[in-house]
Chains A and B, each alone.
Chain A
Amino acid sequence: MQQSQVLQTPPTSEIKPEPVREGMELVVNGKRFRHTGDEALPLLWYLRDVLRLTGAKYGCDEGECGFCTVLVDGKAAQACRLTVGKLANKHVTTVEGLSKPDGSLHPLQQAWIDEDAVLCGYCQPGQLMAAADLLARKPDPSDADIDRIGTLCRCGSYPRVRKAIKRAAKAMRDAG
């Protein structure tokens, strides 16, 4: 039988500190990523070009249109207005992370389908994320609450988006 070697703790003088890891970490849709590039990189392009998560859409680069809305620690934010460097250890959720890991839809996504709220569809990921933020704050939103979202829809699907938000809100309240 082979004698197993007993590992001795080395003397303190020989312990080297772990090298400092480059970059910073953030969590996107529940997965942890390390970014070692330029910290001034806008989150929108980090998501789209680095992680290839293209759900957040480019629309204006000025925070005007809302097409790139994502959740940062649960609150709506325009991905074009945030740099990756500001997001260390933050949790970012994009439309790809809105449904459950098993693929079942978020009540908002289901309501969007039920109300046929998609026309061209390009703004809809942003609309959905802004609505997710709203419903987290206001489980029974008024028309004025919905109006304050302000995300543009070039096709003019506003009435259906409004109905879908209310439908999802009711479904979420009913589910407790």
Chain B
Amino acid sequence: MTDTLWLSRRRFLKVMAGTAGALVVGIGSARADAPPVPLVLLGDTWSQVGPYLRVDADGRIFIGARDPDNGEGTATSLPRLIAEELDADWTRVVVMPLGLGVEDGNGEPRWLYGRQRSGQGDSIPTAWTDMRQAGALARSMLLQAAAQRLGVAAGQLRVENGTVIAPDGRRVTYGQLAEAASQLPVPDTVPRVKTPDRFHLIGQPVGDVDAHAVVTGKLIYAIDAADGDTMVAVLSRCPYPGGTLDTVDTGDTLKVKGVLQVIQLQPEAGQGLGMTALAPAVAVLAEDTWSALEGRKKLKLSWKPGSHPIPTLSDLEKQAQVSFDSPDALVTVLRDDGDAVGLLKKKGARRIDATYVQPWIAHAVAEPLSCTVRVDPDTSAVVTTASQAPRDAYTIVQRMTGLRASQIRIDVPRGGGAFGRRLLHDHLAEAMIIAMAEKPEPLRNRTIKVMWTRDEDLAHDAWRAPTIHRMSATIDQRKGITGWVQNMASPNRDLPAPARPWMSELVQDALPAGLVSNFRSNWYALDTPVPRGEWRGTPHLSHAFASESFIDEIANALKANPLDVRLRLLGEPRQLPYRGPGGPTVDTGRLVNVLRQVADRIGWQRWLHSETGLGLACYYVNGGYVAHAIEVVNKGNGQIDVIRAVCAVDVGQPVNPLGLEAQVMGGTFDALSTAMNLSITFRDGQVQQKNFHDYPIANAAQMPNDVEVIIVPSNAAPAGASVLAMPTAAPALANAVFRATAVRVRRLPLLREVARLS
């Protein structure tokens, strides 16, 4: 990274700070007393892409993709937003992934490109409000330059695919205007972004910008990164959460050809989850991957369990039952409308109860974790790793080296899946600990790559935590659902500290809150030292499985059509208050719409008489509305064949329908595969699963041939889509299985449970 680049980035950002508001949050102070500078970004003198875009004299347009793309498609969809406002010719656009943007700000990091975080479903919503402005600003300056060149008022010019056209037909390209535009003063006001009727790229399908590099094998993922000087480290980590290394014998390992050194690692004290190593470990450092793997096989290690025993899921179920039944248990009341508890106790009330149990789930990212670091503690640190939160990566490197921002480079290539795992940087911390460890002279300052193997990936994670939901409702044949009480138990995030409500998990306004006038929602903490993390919309998944299964159980008790019960519950279209991501309101009409769409597509009128099983579910997540209809065939002996999957989504304005469809298709499959087959289990304090043979991610044969995706047309501000299809697929599946088999699955994974109950 050159000084020029830094200077240029600063300049660019200074300009943007004065003109584009939200684009440059946190930069304003840097430029408070700085004079206006020309928008050098638009010049042709740069050797590297600026923060968001650069127009070259030859007409190529370079657009920086600021948010990490781990398969969510943001490297395509975010640059499209800029290109749209710019009226750019998409075929001339070159997308460049941006590393972490950070500079020194009086000893504190100053983030140059915003949050640069993926996995919260807010990449597109955030970009919608700032990146389009960057494109609009550049367009207005290019138009101004064109107006001067052509002697025509800017308002009379129009742009087609990167060419400015005068009323008399004269044409001048962006490339020809770039230099002149770069000399213009920045306009005082931010140009208005387009209205939807003028979109020519947004809403049109486009393929992934990295597809060519992927299919030719040229795309370098973090795991592929290496220079001629790279040493590979493979680790053996303590199998007991909270455990320690007891004895170690490295003699045989050091005899393996290619092995260079064996290093013991400890998680650093006082660091939060994902900010240091997850477990004590022994690292085998070798000249290449295979030597390191062979060396690891020869390690003779013994590990000691921690002082806190590791409960199994059935232990946690017992904990939950005790809490639910005890008036003295520490409870967090999330919402209490009317008198739901009183209704349950009322004599003669017709009530229904069900308990749903969902297991630990691993992330099992396709590309195993890896991190490559080259550290000279006095001068520089260069890091390559896939990440959903590269700022955290920076924080770790800075803390461990004491280097300045200008001396630290974090490169974030396209990642092979993330699902929340890459919000943690334990693998980076491991690489840094190894890099900073004492080494013989020839090994000092060489590049180090930490490689995770699949067995370690399943055994060392911050898993999606298990949940136990006890649901109770009072029902009335005429009035439907009159009261709803949900008790949820999940591991306390802060263990071993006292339980503290974790509102991000608890989503107090998740439906049917607000739809049932007597409604109570409680949360109880479970006690386990097993680390827990984010996993594709964590809280929504477990809640939706419980609530959407329970609504079907209620419909069955009422001998009613589950679609009618849902429609009645959702009622007339209206806005309900909603705290949390996607708030401040939820629109029941949009939810009804997606539900009706999937019901129509699957042919819901067959629901009672079909030999196959049909199931529905709908949900609201992070501003998006989603419904699934699933059709299954009972093959007997506990075998279930999913023959159709229909999913309707309303995310507001689709930016790239092809990418949106991919997210919905993929999310549906992941949710189905997970619900049908997957669980992480503990035995004797250790994870039992070792690889894909006992953590069987579904292959094509086990999935329906297609997901029928329905995208609701809309011009509303867009919501994120990467977790949108996750919550409803599993309950729709369980509801379909009930119709096909009469087995009600209240415990996942589903296929095992169907076999047990059949």
* Residues of chain A having any CB pair with chain B under 8 Å: 38, 41-42, 45, 48-50, 52-62, 64-65, 67, 94-96, 98-99, 105, 108-109, 112-114, 116-125, 128, 143, 146-162
Contact = CB atoms under 8 A, between A and B. Distances in A.
B673 interface: yes
Chain B interface bracket (under 10, 10 to 19, 20 to 34, 35 or more): 35 or more
Given A38-B257, A152-B692, 20 more contacts: A45-B289, A49-B289, A54-B220, A55-B216, A60-B454, A64-B693, A95-B217, A96-B216, A116-B205, A116-B208, A118-B208, A118-B214, A121-B214, A121-B414, A121-B416, A125-B215, A146-B700, A152-B697, A156-B669, A161-B700
A50 B208 CA distance: 30
B58 interface: no
B416 A112 contact: no
B701 A150 contact: yes
B71 A119 contact: yes
Prevailing SS type, chain A contact patch? loop
A155 B693 CA distance: 18
Contact of A42 (B290, B364, B658, B691): B290
Instruction: Output the residue of B364, B414, B416 with the most chain A CB within 10 A.
Output: B416
B367 interface: yes
A60 B662 contact: no
Nearest to B699: A150
Contact of A59 (B210, B290, B454): B454
22 contacts: A38-B257, A42-B290, A45-B288, A48-B289, A59-B454, A62-B454, A64-B692, A67-B366, A94-B217, A98-B216, A98-B217, A105-B216, A118-B208, A119-B666, A121-B210, A122-B367, A125-B214, A125-B215, A147-B699, A155-B662, A159-B705, A159-B706
Contacts of B673: 156
A67 B364 CA distance: 14
A118 B210 contact: yes
A134 to B, nearest CB: 12
A60 B208 contact: no
B417 interface: yes
Contacts, number: 177
B34 interface: no
B364 A154 contact: yes
Given A99-B216, A124-B214, A62 B692 contact: yes
State the majority secondary structure of interface residues on B.
Answer: loop
Contacts of B701: 147-148, 150
B693 A62 contact: yes
B699 A152 contact: yes
Nearest to B363: A154
B659 to A, nearest CB: 8
Nearest to A41: B290
B207 interface: yes
Contact of A119 (B217, B221, B662): B662
B662 A157 contact: yes
B651 interface: no
Given A116-B207, A122-B221, A158 B692 contact: no
Contact of A155 (B71, B454, B706): B71
B669 A158 contact: yes
B451 to A, nearest CB: 8
Contact of B700 (A41, A54, A60, A150): A150
Contacts of A94: 217
A133 B178 CA distance: 49
Given A42-B290, A67-B366, A159-B665, A113 B658 contact: no
Nearest to B365: A154
Contacts of B218: 55, 96
Contacts of B147: none
A120 B454 contact: no
B415 A147 contact: no
A113 B290 contact: no
A113 B217 contact: no
A87 B427 CA distance: 34
B358 interface: no
Contacts of B697: 152, 154
A94 B83 CA distance: 35
A99 B213 CA distance: 12
Nearest to B700: A158
Interface string B687-709: 00001110001011101011100
Interface string B333-368: 000000000000000000000000000000011111
B134 to A, nearest CB: 26
A158 B703 contact: yes
Interface in B632-681: 658-659, 662, 665-670, 673
B250 interface: no
B224 interface: yes
Instruction: Give me the 5 closest cross-chain CB pairs, A-B, nearest first.
Output: A55-B217, A120-B71, A156-B669, A122-B416, A54-B224
B226 interface: yes
Nearest to B693: A64
A36 B221 CA distance: 28
B500 interface: no
B214 A96 contact: no
A149 B453 CA distance: 23
Contact of B665 (A146, A150, A157): A157
A157 B289 CA distance: 29
Contact of B670 (A38, A112, A156): A156
Contacts of A62: 454, 691-693
A39 to B, nearest CB: 12
B497 interface: no
Nearest to B662: A119
A146 B205 CA distance: 26
**Interface-central residue, B673, B692, B693, by most chain A CB under 10 Å:** B692
A95 B210 contact: no
Nearest to B207: A116
Nearest to A114: B207
A147 to B, nearest CB: 4
B316 interface: no
Contacts of A113: 207, 211-212, 215
A54 B289 CA distance: 13
Contacts of B693: 62, 64
A54 B217 contact: yes
Contacts of B71: 119-121, 155
Nearest to A46: B290
B223 interface: yes
Contacts of B597: none
B557 interface: no
B600 to A, nearest CB: 21
A95 B700 contact: no
Contacts of B70: 120
A62 B457 CA distance: 14
Contacts of A96: 216-218
A105 B215 CA distance: 9
A26 B368 CA distance: 29
B608 interface: no
B742 interface: no
B215 A109 contact: yes
Given A59-B368, A152-B692, A155-B417, A160 B662 contact: yes
